Amino acid sequence: MHNVLWIVIVLISHEAFQYFKTCFHAFQTSAQRVIPTSKAPVLYHHVILWTCTCLHGIFITDMPELRLNLITKEWVIISTERAKRPEDFKVKGKEKAVAQFVETCPFCPGNEDKTPEEVFRVSDGDTWKIRVVPNKFAALHRTAERMRLNDGYKHVISGFGIHDVIIETPLHNMTTALQPVDHLAEIIRTYKRRFIELYSDTRIGHVIIFKNHGERAGTSLEHPHSQIIGTPVTPFQVRSRIEEAMRFFDITGECLICKTLTEEKGEGSRVILETDHFIVFIPYAAISAFHTWIFPKRHSAAFSDITEDEMQDLALNLKTLLCKLYFGLNNPDYNYLIFSNRIKDAKSEYSHWYMSIIPRITTTAGFELGSGIYINASLPEKNAEYLRTVKVPHSL
Annotated catalytic sites, by residue?
Answer: 225
CA distance 159 to 53: 57
Cross-strand bridge partners of residue 289: none
CA distance 65 to 3: 22
Contact by Cβ (8 Å): 64, 80 = yes
Classify 33 as helix, strand or coil. Answer: coil
Neighbouring residues of 310: CB distance < 8 A, sequence distance ≥ 6: 277, 278, 296, 298
Full strand arrangement of the beta sheet holding 374-376 = 65-69, 74-78, 374-376
Taking each helix axis as running N to C, give the angle between helix 40-59 and helix 14-30, from 0 to 180 degrees, rounded to the nearest 10: 140
- Shortest CA distance to 134 belongs to which of 222, 212, 197? 197
Angstrom distances, CA of residue 363 to CA of 147, 217, 289, 358: 37, 11, 10, 12
Contact by Cβ (8 Å): 8, 55 = yes
User: Quick one: 353 exposed, middle or buried, by C-beta within 10 A (0-12, 13-18, 19+)?
Assistant: buried
- Shortest CA distance to 311 belongs to which of 191, 195, 210, 189? 189
Angstrom distances, CA of residue 266 to CA of 261, 294, 314, 317, 381: 8, 16, 21, 19, 14
* DSSP tag of 160: B
Contact by Cβ (8 Å): 255, 296 = no
